[in-house]
Structure 1
């Protein structure tokens, strides 16, 4: 399947066709979880009646089964609506099938008054000062070719913590503007891939969920995932990451992991 110049093509309202750029590292028929996570985040923000004075502060994804490359439907519903917060759910399902991915987002009202500035913390080397670090897979087109990656610390095939700047080479949806939130959610699911503690060739890592917390709205084209993976001998792991843009810290992401020998 040839890939259009984007992760998804819009068929109509709520229906999308995933392109080959969504292909993940484990199976050529399945997506990396980053693109569908961003698609669900976009749906939460763009749903009918969405309040312009609120933004996503936390979004948690349940990855029920591998997300196939093909036609997909996105639906949203409001769980709770209040003056200062609201909870919105979104679901992603193949055409005519049960959902494969769910999201629940907490949106918080943006305060109209100015608040005291808080120092963003230590600054990372900017992406312009870090060399590009491509990642090769058996298939020619996929998430790995749709994303530009630059490691400030660690490497894909180097066990241990890693810090990687990431930038989308293609838009989330063909012909539509890419937003900074799209860029962060596309990258956030890469925390374990950046910081795996065991050899990918000998062990399989599957994350059944992803939670992203944002204290600041991201800006710019680059997102940085500064990740560390912890693993118990029972095969349960946790990938914990600090998220950054070029201005500084913006939040965190966490993945629960199932790890087993291949």
Structure 2
């Protein structure tokens, strides 16, 4: 079977979204993983170096992105010996809808001594759904394949094998980590009535790259007041924890996504 993908590259820096890039927020909205994946792939392709780790990616989702041609604009801000900084904007119809910054650190030997490490464990599903490439779990319901099963108030977790960002180009470990980390919004903002907060950003910080195609995302914290929420997660592969995801979000009750009455069931994979 052909591998699914979010975008078709039509020119050097221009990409056309596919149906896989659509989100649940509206009939012509693009989803967060697709946009995060596109900026991560574009920045890594242009500025990635094997001797550097992409340690932090921050993506600001300014405006609802639509299913129209999307242009990536790039800039290398600093090319240092130990630190490299770069930026990417996604532009649709002349308007910037996403802006991202990437910080890369040169790989080196660790310092002397030992440091505190938080105890973190992640137990994934016994049987993974290889056809759909996702699974969701919660303390109350265990692991299932349906998001609606986890509209509760308990801690949530997610496993994801990301689909390709661009047709014909398999995702790199960095791109997989960035896309999976966007699931932080789901595992922290999913409540008894679905998801009523829409995240305006994502920050993913990595101590190393993941070694697996499947990546786990487990909620660590969720704080909300006056229509604003903040959520944080830990990222896992089979070797253990390797990074952190963080999102801020604003209440969006008019378009709340109740997965028990999914308005776009064909988009839930």
TM normalised by structure 1 equals: 0.82
Contact 1:35 1:185 in 2 (8 A): no
Contact 1:17 1:72 in 2 (8 A): yes
Structure 2 residue 36 is matched with structure 1 residue 37: yes
Contact 1:15 1:72 in 2 (8 A): yes
Change (3 A) 1:20 1:147: farther
Offset at residue 152 of structure 1 (A): 6.2
Contact 1:132 1:150 in 2 (8 A): no
Structure 2 residue 243 is matched with structure 1 residue 242: no
Q: Describe the superposition over 1:39-92 as per-residue Cα deviations: whole angstroms up to 9, x where unpaired.
A: 101111111x64332121001111101111221111210112210001100111
Structure 2 residue 174 is matched with structure 1 residue 181: yes
- Report which stretch shifted further, 113-122 or 26-35: 113-122
Change (3 A) 1:76 1:156: farther
**Equivalent residue for 1:67?**
65
Distance 1:156 1:17 in 2: 33
Change (3 A) 1:5 1:99: same
SS of aligned partner of 1:193? helix
Q: Describe the superposition over 1:207-252 as per-residue Cα deviations: whole angstroms up to 9, x where unpaired.
A: 1111100011111111111014534331111011111112111110
Please tell me the root mean square deviation across aligned C-alpha atoms, in Å: 2.8
Change (3 A) 1:99 1:259: same
Q: Describe the superposition over 1:133-192 as per-residue Cα deviations: whole angstroms up to 9, x where unpaired.
A: 9xxxxxxxxxxx964224264654223421111112x32211112222222222211212
Structure 2 residue 134 is matched with structure 1 residue 148: yes
Task: Count matched residues.
Answer: 243
**Equivalent residue for 2:96?**
99
Structure 2 residue 183 is matched with structure 1 residue 190: yes
**Equivalent residue for 2:261?**
none
Change (3 A) 1:260 1:13: closer
- Structure 2: which 5+ residue stretches go unaligned? 141-148, 255-269
Distance 1:75 1:43 in 2: 9
Offset at residue 100 of structure 1 (A): 0.2
SS of aligned partner of 2:37? helix
Change (3 A) 1:16 1:147: farther
| Paired residues for 1:5-44 under 5 Å | 5-44=4-43
Structure 2 residue 222 is matched with structure 1 residue 223: no
**Equivalent residue for 1:208?**
200
